[in-house]
Amino acid sequence: IIFNNGKYKSLLAAESNELAQIKSIVDSDQDFRPVYHLAPPTGLLNDPNGLIFDGEKYHIFYQWFPFDAIHGMKHWKHYITEDFIHYQSAETLIPTELFESHGCYSGGALPIDEQHFAVFYTGNTRRSSDNQRIPFQNLAIFNKKGELQHKRPLIEQAPEGYTEHVRDPKPFYTPDGKIRFVCGAQRQDLTGTVLLFEMDNLEAKPRLLGEIALPQFDNSHVFMWECPDLFKLGDKDVFIWSPQGKPRESLQFQNNYHATYAIGKLEGLIFKAEYIAELDQGFDFYAPQTFAGLSNKEETIMYGWVGLPDLDYPTDEYKWHSMLTLPRQIRLKNGKLSQHPAKNIYENLTALQRINIENQVEIANLDQAYLKFNADNRPFKLELFHNEAGQKLGLSYDGKVFSIDRSHTKQTERMSQFGCQRFCEIGHLQDVEIFLDRSIMEIFLNHGEKALTSRFFIPNRKNTLYTDRSLQLEVAY
Ligand code: FRU
């Protein structure tokens, strides 16, 4: 079926030249398009989906609405890479069936045999009589070349006791070869939770095992859990999810919604958490997912969406919205998750130089650079990218708290609604790493103990960097 109903329009309904015209608007953005982050060719990107290593290559999908910077009909845009540097485009998952009539929503992948992998995803559908949403959970099979072989529905409605908000299946195998998947859900009393389903094999019908309880998490005010991900790291279980409604705090959980993680042990249906924290404390980070199919049991790779639901950005007028983070290697360190870009990203850095800076310097292509310095656990203030309009980006450390200040940058009203600064408590700040890419920065503190991912918008910026104390800076590209 070629769906074409307002914003619920599939790629198959594109008029000739329509995407090329949108692309020319995207290309007219001279200021903000990233150079080395995955951004949508046109339209809106959100959650990373279906991440899987197929034994030779990595498959990466993301939620994509091709026609505008709005949440319309969601497709799964698809790339294949061997090295996280060169990406080849592969077959997009396009809504064509009634069981996905209003979008192929988020989900995860599962290895199945030498030549194929499965993706589990939510088919968003709406009844024509009253527009009521009915969430299907679907299965699609791809071959390693990235071609879609087949798709079918697995579950055709929300289970009893839950609202229409049941979505984002993330599958995995049990030690005895059964398939399980977690789904984000909203209970009938409008609180958020996660459901666990089981299938004996890919042909079998899924059965609901129940909710996974997370008693150590304060779920008050939380109305929905999105994008759950459950996996093992070493001898621990890790649960990552995106709760909605958690009250904002002054030094963490500062955005409208949050991505969080718990480390502990899953015993039956109870996750006994030893540690729970926000995954990233920047302005724009949500709905992360880790790869299936990796063999190293001590670490994994994760992508996140550099954006948030319900936010708009200055690039919307250029008809593109958001990007993915760099691939991040995730490990356990002192009972917490440590995260920094994958090895290939570091190996691909070139033109390393060391510069001693005293106050103001101009660094060529600063807006596409990797910066690193040792803060020596002493306060500092940095300002980057001054322009003639007096705009600039601020980064600082006062000995206890690292902050990002975006108050002197271009913002939409909704961006500034949640404040123009972000904070991150961190003692003994030594290692500071910053990956800049024109309108995004990913900051990693103390070798990945903390991460802060943010978008920022400074048109006509100069590549200037100001510091209030001398620093030995490493710069690379
Ligand atoms: C999270 C989310 C998911 C949903 C998808 C739709 O950002 O809302 O819960 O499946 O986006 O695009």
From 324, 344, 364, the end of a domain falls on 344
User: CA 391 to CA 383: how far, in whole Å?
Assistant: 10
User: Region 15-24: what's the mean pLDDT?
Assistant: 98
Taking the CA of residue 184 as reference, the ligand 1 atom at the shortest distance is: 9
Domain span holding position 426: 349-476
Residue 362 has pLDDT above 90, yes or no: yes
* pLDDT of amino acid 430: 98
| Cβ(289) – ligand 1 distance below 6 Å | no
Residues 6+ apart with CB under 8 A from 112: 118, 141, 202
Pocket test for ligand 1, best of 194, 226, 229 (most atoms within 8 A of CB): 226
Residue 406 has pLDDT above 90, yes or no: yes
Residue with tokens 């980070």: 285
Specify whether 47 is catalytic.
yes
User: CA 259 to CA 348: how far, in whole Å?
Assistant: 29
Residues 298 and 399 in one domain: no
From 318, 344, 370, the end of a domain falls on 344
| Cβ(226) – ligand 1 distance below 6 Å | yes
User: CA 73 to CA 95: how far, in whole Å?
Assistant: 8
| Residue 45 · residue 69 · CB < 8 Å | no
Domain count of the fold of the chain: 2
Residues 302 and 358 in one domain: no
* pLDDT of amino acid 209: 98
* pLDDT of amino acid 142: 98
Centroid of ligand 1 to alpha carbon of 462 (angstroms): 36
Candidates 27, 31, 47, 200; catalytic one? 47
* Percent of the chain residues topping a pLDDT of 70: 100
Residue with tokens 């619920």: 8
ipTM of the complex: 0.98
First to last CA, the chain: 46
Residues 320 and 424 in one domain: no
Amino acid, res. 437: D
Residues 211 and 146 in one domain: yes
Amino acid, res. 406: R
| Residue 332 · residue 233 · CB < 8 Å | yes
The per-residue pLDDT for range 143-196, each reduced to its tens digit, is: 999 999 999 999 999 999 999 999 999 999 999 999 999 999 999 999 999 999
pLDDT confidence band for 88 (50 / 70 / 90): very high
Distances (CA, A) of 114 to 12, 97, 402: 31, 28, 47
User: CA 219 to CA 223: how far, in whole Å?
Assistant: 8
User: Region 225-252: what's the mean pLDDT?
Assistant: 97
| Cβ density class 78-105: b for 16+ within 10 Å, e for less | bbbbeebeeeeebbbbbbbbebbbbbbb
* pLDDT of amino acid 385: 98
| Cβ(168) – ligand 1 distance below 6 Å | yes
Phi/psi-derived region of residue 337, left when phi > 0, alpha when psi is between -120 and 50, beta in every other case: beta
| Cβ(105) – ligand 1 distance below 6 Å | yes
| Cβ(49) – ligand 1 distance below 6 Å | no
Centroid of ligand 1 to alpha carbon of 227 (angstroms): 7
As given in the structure block, the two tokens for residue 24 are 């020319």
Residues 393 and 459 in one domain: yes
Please give the DSSP secondary-structure letter assigned to residue 80.
E
Largest CA distance in the chain: 67
Taken in order 355, 361, 364, 367, is the CA torsion positive or negative? positive
Q: In this structure, are strands 43-53 and 320-321 parallel, antiparallel, or unpaired?
A: parallel
Residue 379 has pLDDT above 90, yes or no: yes
Q: What is the CATH number for 394?
A: 2.60.120.560
Centroid of ligand 1 to alpha carbon of 121 (angstroms): 11
| Cβ(102) – ligand 1 distance below 6 Å | no
Amino acid, res. 222: V
| Cβ(59) – ligand 1 distance below 6 Å | no
From 321, 344, 367, the end of a domain falls on 344
| H-helix or E-strand spanning residue 331 | strand 328-333
pLDDT confidence band for 249 (50 / 70 / 90): very high
| Cβ(309) – ligand 1 distance below 6 Å | yes
Q: What is the CATH number for 216?
A: 2.115.10.20
Residue 322 has pLDDT above 90, yes or no: yes
The per-residue pLDDT for range 97-126, each reduced to its tens digit, is: 999 999 999 999 999 999 999 999 999 999
Taking the CA of residue 226 as reference, the ligand 1 atom at the shortest distance is: 9
The per-residue pLDDT for range 425-456, each reduced to its tens digit, is: 999 999 999 999 999 999 999 999 999 999 99
Residues 318 and 380 in one domain: no
Please give the DSSP secondary-structure letter assigned to residue 158.
P
* pLDDT of amino acid 128: 87
Residues 26 and 162 in one domain: yes
User: Region 35-62: what's the mean pLDDT?
Assistant: 98
Residues 457 and 424 in one domain: yes
Residues 278 and 373 in one domain: no
Residues 301 and 380 in one domain: no
Residues 235 and 101 in one domain: yes
Phi/psi at 24 (5° precision):
-70, -30
Residues 422 and 374 in one domain: yes
Residue with tokens 């880790």: 290
Instruction: Give pairs for 22-31: CB < 8 Å, separation 24+.
Output: 22/66, 22/67, 22/68, 22/319, 25/318, 25/319, 26/318, 26/319, 26/320, 28/318, 29/315, 29/318, 29/320, 31/438, 31/439, 31/457, 31/458, 31/459, 31/460, 31/461
Centroid of ligand 1 to alpha carbon of 444 (angstroms): 26
Centroid of ligand 1 to alpha carbon of 286 (angstroms): 10
